């Protein structure tokens, strides 16, 4: 029997966010176990609301503060009385102890950071976990005396209470981070919490999500005219195929080719969606409009703004030609939702996505089919929908495209040079079978010219930088240690086959301090 969407989402875990850096990781770890998890900032949901949603369990995240700090996040102690199992992690366990009147110790010399041996007692949270194992610690404060009713169930050399529980009330807490892979048995502990303590059934499955979404949109959008901005990236591509399966030709996809795409990319997108999937696709060739607007502009943020705005203008013009459309589809994913709910972090780069569109064109409704999904879940949905592997597993490509990879002023000539060099680099990585070992790799056309020699003649051409990074989340990244032979072949082919380049360099900066893109 098929689950319907409501059933899929009834079994929910709440990740109550106290400002920890791992909030999304915790939710992903829970979902990997086929249990749906959602993140809520601690100050956006009350104990009463938690009760009414009917969560199967709650996880308190870590956070950067000390519970004795007046301004640190606190919570209504009533939450401990709701009868819902709770697992507190790091700051979460300290907060739990504090709320139940235990004692927290705050001392610099008690800090633990990094891999630490933890000794666990016999307890349902540690079922199938050895008595001694490695965990990941990152704390200064710790629970010195657990509250009345709680027992210590783990310790480390420095931390007398590395885990505690009140089994009768199903309240558990760990000082270490089970969500981080360095905690060797972390996954097992989370499984124990979900299945043994919260009695979850593990019904959150992607095939159900896909089938249910198709059915849902088929009835919800019946007879409506639906518009989708297709970029060729993973999220909008998977959304397009899903909606196409649901409503067929009532879906119109508009693909704005801003002329800042990689070699042959525009044709690939057109061919895949129009010929292969038979979609109603409009390709707008707007290269000249974008190049005109970008003429003479060198400042990175200005470039991004111009492209974002022009994208909206072009899309708007196209939408007007189509007459009244009822619904706009957006490829918003869960991290966008979470980050916009919490976020007051500094803007490093203004990311260009199609998120601002509804302000300028009016639609009766906006549909965001992946609002609840993480990126890897969208890819999984794409696979379930039969989208070719090379599309679902495409490396990320920034909205402003090659504009942020041509340093300085953008011209057609520079874009063409970059496209050729980038294609060669990607081809060499593919030939060496390295596509799966680096997460993003591309060429950048620097604004630097240097002297070279070819035959007997002096040359004076551009410097191409090659960049390849290894990362889980793109928030931090390591430069990839590509084999010298691959770099050598790429360099030699680029200088030989692409006119106007005299020099090739490899970027060996990680993020931080650099970012992945150069602009
Ligand atoms: P940075 O350069 O910020 O990039 O370290 C992190 C990841 O984000 C991609 N990126 C973008 N993606 N719109 C996007 O959709 C953008 O404006 C944008 N800028 C950077 C970048 O390619 C990398 O994967």
Domain boundaries, the chain: 12-197, 209-392, 405-506
- Per the document, the length of the chain is 519
Nearest CA to ligand 1 atom 9: 398
Which of the residues are catalytic? 90, 177, 179
pLDDT recorded at residue 390? 84
Tokens at residue 207, please? 């095939």
Confirm whether 12-197 and 405-506 share one CATH topology.
Answer: no
CB of residue 515 inside a 6 A radius of ligand 1 = yes
Q: Which residues pair with 113 in a beta bridge?
A: 138
Joined tokens for residue 63: 């956070």
DSSP per-residue string spanning 313-341: HHHHHHHHHT----EEE----HHHHHHHH
Check pocket membership of 511 for ligand 1, CB cut-off 6 A.
yes
C-alpha torsion angle, residues 234, 490, 476, 355 (rounded to 10): -30
Res 4: pLDDT: 35
446 CA → ligand 1 middle, Å:
18
**To test ligand 1's pocket by mutation, which of 237, 262, 308, 516 has the most ligand atoms within 8 angstroms of CB?**
516
- With beta carbons less than 8 A apart as the criterion, state whether 99 and 77 touch: yes
Q: Provide the angle, in degrees to the nearest 10, between the axes of the packed helices 234-247 and 206-220.
A: 60
CB atoms within 10 A of CB 148: 9
Give residue 447 CA to ligand 1 midpoint distance, Å: 20
Cα(240)–Cα(234) distance, rounded to whole angstroms? 10
Query: What ligand 1 atom has the least distance to the C-alpha of 233?
Result: 15
Q: How far apart are the CA of 291 and the centre of ligand 1, in A?
A: 21
List CB contacts of 446: < 8 A, sequence separation 6 or more.
407, 462, 463, 464, 465, 518
Region 405-506: CATH code: 3.30.300.10
pLDDT of residue 149: 97
Closest atom of ligand 1 to 350 CA is 17
Residue with CA closest to ligand 1 atom 7: 474
What is the residue-level pLDDT of the chain in tens, covering all 519 positions? Answer: 333 333 345 699 999 999 988 888 999 999 999 999 999 999 999 999 999 999 999 999 999 888 998 889 999 999 999 999 999 999 999 999 999 999 999 877 888 999 999 999 999 999 999 999 999 999 999 999 999 999 999 999 999 999 999 999 999 999 999 999 889 999 999 999 999 999 999 999 999 999 999 999 999 999 999 999 998 889 999 999 999 999 999 999 999 999 999 999 999 999 999 999 999 999 999 999 999 999 999 999 999 999 999 998 999 899 889 998 999 998 889 888 877 665 444 555 555 554 455 466 678 899 999 998 998 899 999 999 999 888 898 899 998 999 999 999 999 999 999 999 999 999 999 999 999 899 999 999 999 999 999 888 999 999 999 999 999 878 788 999 999 999 999 999 999 999 999 999 999 999 889 999 999
**Atom 22 in ligand 1: residue holding the nearest Cα:** 398
DSSP state of 480: P
Considering the domain 12-197, what is its CATH architecture? 3-Layer(aba) Sandwich (3.40)
Nearest residue (CA) to ligand 1, atom 3: 515
Q: Say how many Å lie between the CA of residue 142 and the centre of ligand 1.
A: 38
Superfamily of domain 209-392: HUPs (3.40.50.620)
Ordered alpha helix ranges (H), 104-251 = 186-191, 206-220, 234-247
């Amino acid at each position: 029997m098929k689950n319907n969407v409501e059933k899929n989402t009834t079994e929910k875990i709440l990740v109550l966010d106290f400002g920890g850096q791992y909030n999304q990781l915790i939710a992903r770890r829970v979902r990997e176990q086929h249990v749906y998890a959602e993140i809520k900032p601690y100050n956006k949901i009350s104990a009463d609301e938690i009760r009414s949603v009917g969560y199967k369990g709650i996880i308190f995240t870590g956070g950067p503060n000390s519970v004795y700090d007046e301004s640190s996040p606190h919570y209504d102690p009533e939450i401990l009385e709701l009868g819902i199992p709770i697992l507190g992690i790091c700051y979460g366990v300290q907060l739990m102890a504090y709320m139940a009147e235990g004692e927290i110790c705050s001392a610099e010399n008690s800090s633990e950071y990094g891999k630490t041996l933890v000794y666990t007692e016999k307890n349902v949270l540690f079922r199938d976990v050895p008595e001694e194992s490695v965990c990941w610690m990152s704390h200064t404060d710790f629970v010195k005396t657990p509250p009345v009713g709680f027992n210590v169930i783990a310790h480390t050399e420095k931390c007398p209470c590395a885990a505690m529980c009140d089994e009768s009330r199903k309240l558990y807490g760990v000082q270490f981070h089970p969500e981080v892979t360095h905690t060797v048995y972390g996954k097992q502990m989370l499984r124990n919490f979900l299945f043994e303590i919260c009695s979850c059934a593990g019904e959150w499955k992607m095939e159900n999500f896909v089938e249910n979404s198709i059915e849902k949109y088929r009835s919800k959008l019946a007879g409506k005219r639906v518009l989708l901005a297709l970029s060729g990236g993973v999220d909008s591509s998977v959304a397009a195929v899903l909606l196409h399966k649901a409503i067929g030709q009532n879906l119109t996809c508009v693909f704005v080719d801003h002329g800042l795409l990689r070699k042959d990319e525009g044709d690939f997108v057109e061919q895949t969606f129009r010929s292969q999937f038979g979609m109603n696709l409009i390709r707008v060739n707007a290269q000249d409009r974008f190049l005109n607007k970008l003429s003479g502009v060198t400042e990175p943020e200005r470039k991004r703004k111009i492209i974002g705005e022009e994208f909206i203008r072009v899309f708007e013009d196209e939408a007007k030609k189509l007459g009244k459309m009822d619904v706009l589809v957006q490829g918003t994913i869960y991290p966008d939702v979470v980050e916009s709910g919490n976020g007051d972090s500094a803007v490093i780069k203004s990311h260009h996505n199609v998120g601002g569109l509804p302000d300028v064109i009016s639609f009766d409704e906006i549909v965001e089919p992946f609002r609840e999904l993480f990126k890897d879940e969208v890819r999984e949905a794409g696979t379930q929908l039969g989208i070719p592997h090379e599309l679902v597993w495409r490396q990320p490509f920034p909205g402003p495209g090659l504009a942020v990879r041509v340093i300085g002023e953008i011209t057609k000539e520079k874009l063409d040079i970059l496209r050729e060099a980038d294609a060669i680099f990607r081809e060499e990585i593919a030939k060496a079978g390295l596509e799966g070992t680096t997460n993003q790799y591309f060429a950048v056309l620097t604004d630097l010219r240097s002297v070279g020699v070819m035959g007997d003649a002096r040359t004076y051409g551009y410097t191409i930088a090659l960049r390849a990074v290894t990362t889980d989340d793109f928030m931090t990244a390591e430069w990839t240690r590509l084999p010298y032979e691959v770099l050598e072949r790429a360099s030699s082919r680029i200088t030989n086959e692409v006119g106007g380049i005299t020099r090739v360099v490899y970027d060996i900066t990680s993020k931080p301090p650099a970012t992945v893109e150069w602009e």
